[in-house]
A and B are shown apart, each in its own frame.
Chain A
Amino acid sequence: MTIDVAAIRNDFPILHREVNGKPLVYFDNAATSQTPKAVIDALVDYYSNTNANIHRGVHALSQEATDAFEQARQKIQKHFNAAKPHEIILTSGTTHSINIVASGYGALLSPGDELLVSAMEHHSNIVPWQMMAEKTGAKLQVIPMLPSGVLDMEAYQELLSANTRLVFVNHVSNALGTVNPIADIIDLAHAQGAHVLIDGAQAAPHIVADVQALDIDYYVTSAHKLCGPTGIGMLYGKEALLNQLPPYQGGGEMIAEVTFEKTTYADLPHKFEAGTPNIAGGIAFGAALDYMNSIGFEAIAAYEHELLSYATTALKKIPNLKIYGEAPEKTAVISFNVGDIHPYDLGSILDKLGIAVRTGHHCAQPIMDYYQIPGTVRASFSFYNTTAEIDAMVAALERAIQMLT
C-alpha cells in the first residue's frame, strides 16, 4: 500500500503558505496536525446549514444536528472498535478526558491504594493523578524508563501489586516517540485486578487501537492530533467502569431529573457531557477519521516509518547530533540536540528558515530530568510530509549550527 503524497498535500490548504519568506516545512505534528479541506468543509457546512443545539430540540435543525453529532460518535466507536456508542464520551480533548477519570477515582480511592504512572508521561497524565493522590491518600508510584527510552517492564512487574488500582501510561511518548507495549502492560495489570488508562494522544494519528482486542479499560485522545479541530476529543471507557465513576461536571444535558432536593444523572454518555458540547467539533472529528481512513492507517504508518528512517539516517550524519529515544518501536518523532547548543537557539534559527519544530521540555519535564538536559528539538512527521522537506530541515540545521558555534 502506498500513498500519493502530492495529492494528499493538495488536501491541506496551509501547506501551501510561506513562513518568513520560505515555504512552510511543518514538523510539529506531534503538537497538532494540520487540517484537511474535508474537515474544514465539515465545520463550515455545519455552521452554514445545520447549526442548532442538540438532543432536546423538536425542530428539524436540532434533529439534523443531533443525528450528525451521534453519527460522529458512532464513527469514533467503530474506529476504535468500542462495543457500544455510549462508551465514547466526547470531551474537549485528552486533558479533559483524563481529568474526568482522575476526578472520578477521587471518590473511589482510599489510603493504601496505589497508582502507577510511567516515567515518560505528558504532564497532563501526571498532574491530575498527583492531585487525586494528594486528596485521597493513595500512593503514586513511577514505572522507570531505560536509557533507550523504553519502559522498564521488569520494574513495572515488581511495582504491580494487589493494591494497584490504576495504571496510566501513554500508548506513544510525545517527547520520544516510543511505542509502549500496551498489550503486556494491560495484561499484567489485569492479572493484579488493576485497571489501565491509555493516553492515546500521540498514538491515535498513527496506530488504530482496538479497545476490545486489547481489553483497554480507558482510552483517551484529542481530535486535533489526527487532522481534526482543536477543542474536541474522546474518552473511551468500558461501560461498567464509566457507570461506577461519578459525574465530573454538573449542568444541563447530564441530568435525568432535577429538583432542589435531588438530581438523578443521565445515562452514558450524557452523564459526562454536561452543557452544550462542541457539536461542530464532534462532527468534524468524525470527518477527520473518515479522511484518515480513506487514506488508510496502514499506509500512513508505513509511509511515516519511511520518513522516520530517512530522517534518522540524515540527522545521524550531523556531527555531535544526539537522538533521545531510540526504542525499537517508534512513531515518526525525533527528539535531538546538537552538542551544547541550546534547543531554543536551534529552534529559533530553524523558524527563521521556515522550518516549524518544537523546542523545550515538551510538557514532559521528568524525561528531560532523566537525560539531564534542558530540553530537545523535536521534529515530528506526518503522512503529508516529504523527504524533500527533511532535506530542507537538514540543510537549515547545518546553517543554524554554523551560526551557533
Chain B
Amino acid sequence: MDTIESRQQEIIDEFSMFDDWMQRYEYMIELGKSLPLIESQYKTDDNIIKGCQSKVWVHADLEDNLLKFTADSDAIITKGIIAILIRVFSDAHPKAILDANTDFIDQIGLKEHLSPTRANGLVSMIKQLKMYAIAYQTQLN
C-alpha cells in the first residue's frame, strides 16, 4: 500500500545505495528536477517559507481529501530537499501528514540539515507542510 511510511522506506532504500555524501547530494539534486513545480501565480512572498537562506515557495491544494503540494526554490540543494519532502507528504490525507514522523531524514544521511538553526530551514519546511495539513484538516472537520 502507498502510505507516507512506505514512501519514506522507498527513499531510505534509494539513499542506502550511496556510500558518500557526494553521491547523496547528487541524487538529491536529481530529485529536485522532478519536483512538482508551483504555479507562478502562487510564487508570491506570502508563500515563501521563512528561515531559509534560499527562497522556498510551497502551495497546497486539497483534491479528493488528499493534499497535493507544489513547490520551488532558487537553490538546487534546497529544491532537492523540498522535493524529497513533497514526494513523501503529497497525495496524502491531512491527518496522515499530521501524524507522520520525519525520522527518515536522519536515516538518509541528511541529519545535519535537521538542526533548527540550519540556514536551509528543513525544519521550517516540514513545519510549513504540517501547517497546510492543519488548515485543511480543520476544513474537513
Contacts and interface: CB of A to CB of B under 8 A. Distances in A.
Contacts of B21: 20, 352
Contacts of A341: 76
Contacts of A359: 53, 119
Given A360-B53, A374-B55, A404-B29, A345 B119 contact: no
A309 to B, nearest CB: 30
B78 to A, nearest CB: 7
Interface in A154-204: none
B82 to A, nearest CB: 13
Contact residues on B (Cβ < 8 Å of other chain), bracket: 10 to 19
Given A374-B74, A404-B76, A344 B22 contact: no
A344 B56 CA distance: 12
B22 A403 contact: yes
Interface in B10-40: 21-22, 25-26, 29
Contact of B54 (A20, A352, A374, A403): A374
B78 A344 contact: yes
A345 B76 contact: yes
B75 A344 contact: yes
B105 interface: no
Contacts, number: 40
Contacts of B53: 344, 359-360, 375
B25 to A, nearest CB: 7
A352 B54 CA distance: 18
Given A352-B21, A352-B25, A403-B29, A345 B77 contact: yes
A269 to B, nearest CB: 35
Contacts of B120: 344, 348
A398 to B, nearest CB: 14
A207 interface: no
20 contacts: A342-B54, A342-B74, A342-B75, A342-B76, A342-B78, A344-B77, A344-B78, A344-B120, A345-B54, A345-B75, A345-B76, A348-B77, A352-B22, A360-B53, A360-B119, A374-B55, A374-B74, A375-B53, A403-B22, A403-B26
Q: Which 5 A-B pairs have the closest CB atoms?
A: A342-B75, A344-B54, A344-B75, A344-B53, A345-B75
Given A352-B22, A403-B29, 12 more contacts: A342-B74, A344-B53, A344-B119, A344-B120, A345-B54, A345-B75, A352-B25, A359-B119, A360-B53, A360-B119, A374-B55, A375-B53
